[in-house]
Chain A
Amino acid sequence: MEKSKANINYDDVVIHVDKVSKSFGDLHVLRDVDLKLYNRENLVVLGRSGTGKSVLIKLISGLLNPDRGDITVLGEVVNRLTDKELRALRQRIGFSFQNSALYDSMTVRENLEFPLVRNKRNLSRAEIDREVEEVLEGVGLSRAINQMPSELSGGQRKRIGIARTLILRPDIMLYDEPTAGLDPITCLDINSLINEVQERYNTSSIIITHDLACAKMIGDRMVMLLDGKFERQGSFAEIFDTDDERVRPFYDYNFIV
């Protein structure tokens, strides 16, 4: 079942990728790509492995710089900001990494406290504890608070990774392969969590995936990255209503094979 798009504000563009190109040596990953993300929209970016999907969100979060073009996030051109301005903007962007990227020398509590303590230095101990407990409860893992990341399962690590980004109450969430390497039931849990996050925290999100079940469940709109360009855009049905042999195998593998 596809999602309702009732809450999306199409007058408010929160991310605008404007004619952006990115190469690594002779490898042209993105070629003059254009993309808009609207307020409270979940946008799914589909594409084969190694086609530059993760590069796109690393460009949006300022981890990489584009060779050409501009990326505007919440009204600020990311590739023209100073380090200090970029750090301030990043507090409004949550980034959930493919492998969760939890700090493995810290407990779950310390992982969650880390961004909070470092960005909001005037918070009291009680306020920090309350925030940590609230986001942990939000992802359904209150009992894991004193565990080390190595003691958690893949799905739990994903949840903690998402909780760590939520603790700063971001306006935008960037998910890199949120269901990669997880069993189908845990995938469904993570997909539900992504939808819950959108509703509860009013976030706009870009979700990088090649899991079509995930895409169908959480995406308001989809784009497919083919040969460095977004050649197909639209709803799930619109994307796959084609005989393009670069696109059909995605659908066939996920729903027929």
Chain B
Amino acid sequence: MKRKIENLLLEFARIHRFMMRFLREVVSPPYEFKEIIRQCYEIGWKSFPLISLTGFIVGFVFTKQSRPSLEEFGATSWLPKLISIAIVRALAPLVTALIGSGKVGSQIGAELSSMNVTEQIDAMEVSGTNPTKFLVSTRILATTTMIPVLCFYVAGIGLLGGYLSIAGKDDLSFLAFFTQVFEAIAAKDIFAMVLRAVVFGFTIGFTSSYIGYYSSKGTEGVGKAANAAVVASMFLVFIEELLIVQILSLVG
């Protein structure tokens, strides 16, 4: 028991050191612009096909499932407002973060872990390159910027899915749908969405980088790191969602 508590405290100390190293490296020159752009491409652009499909399906299915409840009250005309608030406030950031945890988190966890196992990180270190700056900071910055971008995209494509679901049954023009959507969304909803996406993006990048960087040796370590990166990122995303909802509802 004592050993377990000791190990837990040591783990927290290591996480703290990793965070401090990231913060120090991210602000100090030279800046790794080229590598950040490459990571944004890997993390952001290459996630577009998966995120497009997921976002569209979520919007379409959510709208379809919401219709019967509103029909009972004869309020199907409220569907655009309902789905816009649901997608912007909750679904878009959450869906983006969960897909991001699965695709990007596992990719970062496995990549860094594999580099660790094959001593590529040590090779970088001994050749005078700072691996925290080059490998870790760039990935965390890329997820922190690309998850919000993807989140806006998911919101858009989710609303499109919602519109197509409504248009299949009702006579509603594209313009009328989006007019109602923008009437329903307030600036604070957009702010809440961006806040969530930034927090989730940072969490995915930091968690998966940390797990990959400190993975155990051997090929088994790579599999475990990829798995742990996804599980830990998703778990933290849900905890953060809970906290953010509470804080935003207190703030109003």
Contact = CB atoms under 8 A, between A and B. Distances in A.
A40 interface: no
B120 A101 contact: yes
Contact of B127 (A104, A121, A165): A165
Interface stretch (A87-95, A227-235, A241-249): A87-95
B106 to A, nearest CB: 16
A90 B123 contact: no
Contact of A63 (B118, B122, B130, B134): B122
Contacts of A90: 125-128
Contacts of A102: 120, 123
B127 A115 contact: yes
Given A95-B123, A97-B123, A101-B123, A119 B118 contact: no
A61 interface: yes
Interface in B111-126: 115, 118-120, 122-126
B74 interface: no
Contacts of A91: 127-128
Interface residues of A, number: 26
Interface string A24-66: 0000000000000000000000000000000000100111000
Given A87-B128, A91-B128, A115-B127, A121 B122 contact: no
Contacts of A164: 123, 127
B252 interface: no
Contacts of A118: 127-129, 134
Contacts, number: 60
Q: How large is the interface on B (under 10, 10 to 19, 20 to 34, 35 or more residues)?
A: 10 to 19
Interface in A164-179: 164-165, 168
A232 to B, nearest CB: 28
A239 B118 CA distance: 33
A88 B128 contact: yes
A101 B118 CA distance: 6
A99 B128 contact: no
A168 B128 contact: yes
B30 interface: yes
A61 B123 CA distance: 11
B120 A168 contact: no
B64 to A, nearest CB: 42
B118 A104 contact: yes
A97 B128 contact: no
23 contacts: A61-B126, A62-B126, A63-B122, A63-B126, A87-B129, A88-B128, A90-B126, A90-B127, A90-B128, A95-B123, A95-B126, A95-B127, A97-B122, A99-B118, A101-B120, A102-B123, A103-B124, A114-B127, A114-B129, A115-B128, A118-B129, A121-B30, A164-B123
